Chains A and B, each alone.
Chain A
Amino acid sequence: MGNFLKSYWGVIAIGSFVLIGYILLTDVFGVLSPFLFPSIFDVVILFPKYSDQLFTGLKSSLLLLTTAYVLAAICGIALGTLIGLKSGIRKNVTPYINAFSAIPVPLLTPYAINLFPSFKAASIFLIWLAAFWVILGTTIGAVMSIDKRYLETASTLELPKMEKLFRIILPAASPSILVGCSIALTLSFMMLAVAEMFGATSGMAYFVQYYSDFAKFDVVMLGFLFTASVLVLIMYIFDMIKHRILHWTINN
């Protein structure tokens, strides 16, 4: 506990500062509109009442998000590695990658709804696509820019193809690939919100959307706080995984 406080005291200090600022602006001086910015105490008190809805929402959001993201990471890294390594393929597909990845994924929403049998499948597709382009692009770049000397050392050791892929190419490219993965994660959160605006019956973004339609901004605020905590937790887990993979780099 002491250690925790020691390493996070800055984070805690900033959080407290913002919280006190909010309380001053609302409860104490009443500068902000109480309708749009309800007292934090009124918001927190709502949690027990809405917790069931929030957690059901969390479950369905996470299902969409993880399915889409994991699939995007697998497809993006696999295809990106292939395209990055084979200049012949790269030459032929690059124009198409550039063209398709330029289309903003939210614009494809109507197509997705009509093409896929269910809301779930359509949402997963949209989140997948948004994350996929980013991971694909960064993986291609990462693999192409691997220091030639590592590959040469690998070839003097006559490493077989699979060994070379998993023990040389992917680790060498992993720092850049992970940068792409973390951008893709942020993008998938956004696409999740877009996807839950249609057809969803539960979800974290759906929750916020639903209660703002009724102008219940205290509940909306609760939804924001809940979603933000979940995102912080997911990012924290992501960073832990990242540090684990990149433990051999100097910056870690």
Chain B
Amino acid sequence: MLDVSMNNLQFGYDKELVLSGVDYKVKAGDFVCLLGQSGCGKSTLLRLIGGLEKSSPQELLVGGRPVDGPSLDRAMVFQDYGLFPWMTAGDNIEIALKQKYRDWDKHQRKAKALEWVRNLGLDEDLYDKYPMNLSGGQRQRFATARAFALDAPLLLMDEPFGALDAVTKALLQDTVLELWENGKENRKTIFFVTHSVEEALLLATDILVLGQAPSKIIYTHSFTEATKPRRETLFTDPAILDLRNHLTKIINDEINERASRLKEEKANGDPGKTSFFKRKKAV
């Protein structure tokens, strides 16, 4: 429900740039998947949108306004560390709802939290357990349930299902897709970082591929309602298979290029201080 516009967005943690001119406009309700090799700045881009890192005001607009710090309007799901281990899984959702719906009492919060726990296919018995007593998949579901329960118009997910087994991953992908589709004309805008081309194809309306750091968007693909892949067509539809190979090739070319550049540097540079620094930069 929020549009995001990145206008030649540049960012670096220190002097070196991580993002060097990311330019893209995301319409409200789009499901954007970010692909790219590790270290290219996918998490950084997500953190900028989430307000955890500071960007120049006009380079990044969410809902037409510059991002100024984190907000309940932009719910985040990380790969791990999403839940506070000293609270029960249920309390992890309720503490978030307490900020969002300040006039609700405890019963209302719990009812809402339980509703989302069920929506994510979790057993209600898990509600009072501590995160350490849950499996990785269950923890990720609770973190996702919290993000959805907050009903934020923008959802930022950083490799949320990266560490899960294939079956759990597929279940969660379907759940997220379904919850997003159920939003109808009020769909949430979702940014989803993944390193799996298949996952991106399955979920995205828009796929963005980031190049090597300092990175720009090097490839984009948008689906329409009709061309959007389904799990059933993912491995059968020739057009999708082509696209999948193409995306894989782009990402691999980037990796190969980087690898050969590293090799070259190693061969040319004297093995002293300079090459150490160069190499460090490249990694």
Interface centre among A158, A160, A163, A250 (most CB of B within 10 A): A158
Residue of A nearest to B88 (CB): A248
List A contacts of B86 (CB < 8 A).
Answer: 171-172, 174, 248
Question: Do B99 and A155 touch (CB < 8 A)?
Answer: no
List B contacts of A168 (CB < 8 A).
Answer: 84
Using A155-B69, A157-B72 as known contacts, say yes or no to A248 and B52 having CB atoms under 8 A apart.
no
The proximity string for A residues 18-31 relative to B, scoring 1 for CB distances below 8 Å and 0 otherwise, is 00000000000000
Question: Do B81 and A156 touch (CB < 8 A)?
Answer: no
Task: Check: A152 CB closer than 8 A to any chain B CB.
Answer: yes
User: CA of A152 to CA of B51 in the docked complex: distance in angstroms?
Assistant: 10
Task: Check: A235 CB closer than 8 A to any chain B CB.
Answer: no
Task: Check: A243 CB closer than 8 A to any chain B CB.
Answer: no
From B70, B71, B130, give the contact of A248 (CB < 8 A): B130
From A156, A171, A249, give the contact of B84 (CB < 8 A): A171
List A contacts of B282 (CB < 8 A).
Answer: none
Task: Check: A167 CB closer than 8 A to any chain B CB.
Answer: yes
From B52, B69, B96, B132, give the contact of A157 (CB < 8 A): B96
How many chain A residues touch B (Cβ–Cβ < 8 Å)? 21
Task: Check: B74 CB closer than 8 A to any chain A CB.
Answer: yes
User: CA of A249 to CA of B132 in the docked complex: distance in angstroms?
Assistant: 7
The proximity string for B residues 54-98 relative to A, scoring 1 for CB distances below 8 Å and 0 otherwise, is 000000000000000111101110100110111100000001101
Interface centre among A147, A153, A172, A247 (most CB of B within 10 A): A153
User: CA of A155 to CA of B69 in the docked complex: distance in angstroms?
Assistant: 9
List B contacts of A159 (CB < 8 A).
Answer: 95, 99
Question: Do A153 and B76 touch (CB < 8 A)?
Answer: yes
Using A155-B70, A156-B50, A163-B95 as known contacts, say yes or no to A250 and B132 having CB atoms under 8 A apart.
yes
The proximity string for A residues 46-69 relative to B, scoring 1 for CB distances below 8 Å and 0 otherwise, is 000000000000000000000000
User: CA of A147 to CA of B81 in the docked complex: distance in angstroms?
Assistant: 9
User: CA of A152 to CA of B84 in the docked complex: distance in angstroms?
Assistant: 11
SS of B interface (majority): loop
User: CA of A226 to CA of B92 in the docked complex: distance in angstroms?
Assistant: 46
User: CA of A157 to CA of B76 in the docked complex: distance in angstroms?
Assistant: 9
Q: What's the least CB distance linking B87 to chain A, in Å?
A: 7
Using A158-B70, A250-B132 as known contacts, say yes or no to A153 and B84 having CB atoms under 8 A apart.
yes
Q: What's the least CB distance linking B57 to chain A, in Å?
A: 19
List A contacts of B70 (CB < 8 A).
Answer: 152, 155-156, 158
Task: Check: A161 CB closer than 8 A to any chain B CB.
Answer: no
Q: What's the least CB distance linking A130 to chain B, in Å?
A: 29
List B contacts of A157 (CB < 8 A).
Answer: 72, 95-96, 99
Task: Check: A149 CB closer than 8 A to any chain B CB.
Answer: yes
Question: Do B71 and A158 touch (CB < 8 A)?
Answer: yes
Question: Do B99 and A160 touch (CB < 8 A)?
Answer: yes
User: CA of A167 to CA of B86 in the docked complex: distance in angstroms?
Assistant: 9
Q: What's the least CB distance linking B144 to chain A, in Å?
A: 14
By Cβ-Cβ distance, the 3 closest A-B pairs, closest first, are A171-B86, A149-B81, A156-B70
Known: A155-B52, A156-B52, A171-B86; 9 extra A-B contacts, CB below 8 A, are A149-B78, A149-B81, A156-B76, A158-B70, A159-B99, A163-B98, A167-B95, A171-B87, A247-B130
